[in-house]
Amino acid sequence: MFRLITILLLFSFHIAGAQHKSLDVGSIQQIKQGVALAATKIATISSDFTQEKEMSILNDKIITRGRFYFKKDRFLRWEYIHPFSYVIALRGDMISIQNEGEVKSFNTNSNRVFAEVNRIIIGSVNGTLLDDASFTADYDQSNGHYIVSLTPVSATLKENLDKIIIYFAKTDYTVNKLEMFESAGDFTRITFSKKQLNQPIPDEVFILR
Amino acid sequence: MRYLFFASFVTLIIFTGCQSIKPPHLVSVSDQKSAETHLPTANCLLPTVNCPLPTPFSALTFDKALFKAALNIGEHHLTGLVFIKKMPDSGFLMPDSAIERVETHPTWLNSYRVVFSNEFGMTYFDIEIGTNYFKVNYCFEPLNKKMLWKIMKTDFRLLFASEEASEPSKHYVQDESNFLVYKSKQGELKRWDLFTSSGDTLVEIRGNSNIADQALITFTGYQNKFPLRITLVNSIIRLQFSLSLLSIN
């Protein structure tokens, strides 16, 4: 009975929250082309980000803030500024981490979590994630966003990740928001703000010493 | 030759494994007079009605705390954030020995939720611990090893479930450091709590139930009576879990 009530409650919340409009095949194709076209035009992105981790049951959030840099093709820098200092820089398959003044570098292939997170971030910037065989995609839209919900196919990925929802801005097809829902019930939302496109970013930004 | 190698290996395990977790250089004190001989500055070394036991970590006043964390196990290295939240009384079963102490330390009724996640927010583990209660709500698959959790359970029980412990059976002063040391039993665990000579600051907790789960927990850099850094070490499996305080409420 309790289970039935829970399912009904979840279902009613789902209906209440479903303000998005479903898309037809033509519109989906248009989104894919829009994201792919934007990816060819965007050489660099820099922005602020706010990351909120919501923990199930605890009714609490961990909020972190920082700067994000992307440079074509596979240069990425996550810089956490508040409440702690921590930098992850990616150059191709090499990843460097600056933590408490110490820099460690390793190959992304040696760390499954980093490999997946970076594939997701870079894949959503250049649009390749929408056709990634590791996920099935559902498309929706709201007033300002095209919303793509990605559900992992592989059992290994499903152990940790329930789904990822990417919010593409309708104006320029760049990512405004990313939500990662964990299998355990927790979820993390990353919101990008003060985005700057195609401003020069020196390669040194992606090198940690 | 093969037997010689085997004997050497066993001897090595015995010598390294049997290295006691008991704090070194302890001088036993049986009454206040002998205590004062060893540590004249101590106001009250043996707990009495007017001189209660020092406050254990789990009785410190906080609702939630956020730590920067690094977990090293052998060559494996994980970093991220640890969020600890004191949960309201969940009605966990209290051992008889703790009831009287709970009346003077009502916060001991609480349980704790401990969530360790990486910087991107993905959860490594989510546990809940209270008196005679320990539950792993979620664990990232590569960390989900029975043996590892048996050892980490000892760490977390020593840290968060001190109300399970009996009244100290022995009292010591540690030479040179002049730390006050209390020995007690916590279920099947042997437990040592080390406090500064003034008796108001917890410096270390040591404990174990067997060779494999020997735990050393250190508390350093106190600010407003709360440690800025907590380090859990299980030397046998080369585990070190370091927590640096970011915020507290």
The pLDDT of residue A92 is: 84
Chain A residues near residue B83 by CB distance under 8 angstroms: 55, 58, 60, 62
Say whether pLDDT at A126 is over 90.
Answer: no
Question: Is there a contact between B113 and A184 if contact means CB atoms under 8 Å apart?
Answer: no
Contact yes or no for A128/A118 (Cβ under 8 A): no
Q: pLDDT tens across A157-199, in order? A: 888 889 999 999 999 999 999 999 998 888 999 999 999 999 9
Cis peptide before A73 (omega within 30 of 0): yes
Contact yes or no for A44/A198 (Cβ under 8 A): yes
The pLDDT of residue B109 is: 59
- DSSP label at residue A127: S
pTM: 0.82
Least confident of A64-68, B18-22, B60-64, B67-71: B18-22
Question: Is there a contact between B79 and A117 if contact means CB atoms under 8 Å apart?
Answer: no
Chain B residues near residue A102 by CB distance under 8 angstroms: none
| Residue B110 dihedral angles phi and psi, to the nearest 5° | -75, 155
Contact yes or no for A88/A96 (Cβ under 8 A): yes
Q: What kind of architecture, by CATH, is found in domain A31-206?
A: Clam (2.50)
Give the mean pLDDT of chain B.
80
Question: Is there a contact between A99 and B122 if contact means CB atoms under 8 Å apart?
Answer: no
The pLDDT of residue A160 is: 82
Question: Is there a contact between B79 and A86 if contact means CB atoms under 8 Å apart?
Answer: yes
Nearest CA in chain B to A181: B122
Say whether pLDDT at B150 is over 70.
Answer: yes
The pLDDT of residue B35 is: 60
Say whether pLDDT at A156 is over 90.
Answer: no
State the burial class of residue B71 (Cβ atoms within 10 Å of its Cβ: 0-12, 13-18, 19+). buried
Nearest CA in chain A to B117: A53
Chain A residues near residue B70 by CB distance under 8 angstroms: 99
Question: Is there a contact between A64 and B119 if contact means CB atoms under 8 Å apart?
Answer: yes
The pLDDT of residue B91 is: 44
H-helix or E-strand spanning residue B171: strand B170-174
The pLDDT of residue A142 is: 93
Contact yes or no for B58/B161 (Cβ under 8 A): yes
CB-defined contacts A:B, below 8 A: 67
The pLDDT of residue B5 is: 46
Chain B residues near residue A63 by CB distance under 8 angstroms: none
Average pLDDT over residues B101-128: 77
What is the total residue count of chain B? 249
Say whether pLDDT at B118 is over 60.
Answer: yes
Domains of chain B from N-terminus onward? 27-248 (2.50.20)
Least confident of A78-92, B64-78, B157-171, B176-190: B157-171
Which A-chain residues 29-48 have CB contacts (< 8 A) with chain B?
Answer: none
Q: From the CA of A37, how many Å to the nearest CA of chain B?
A: 28
The total of other beta-carbon atoms located within 10 Å of residue B59's CB is 19
ipTM above 0.90, yes or no: no
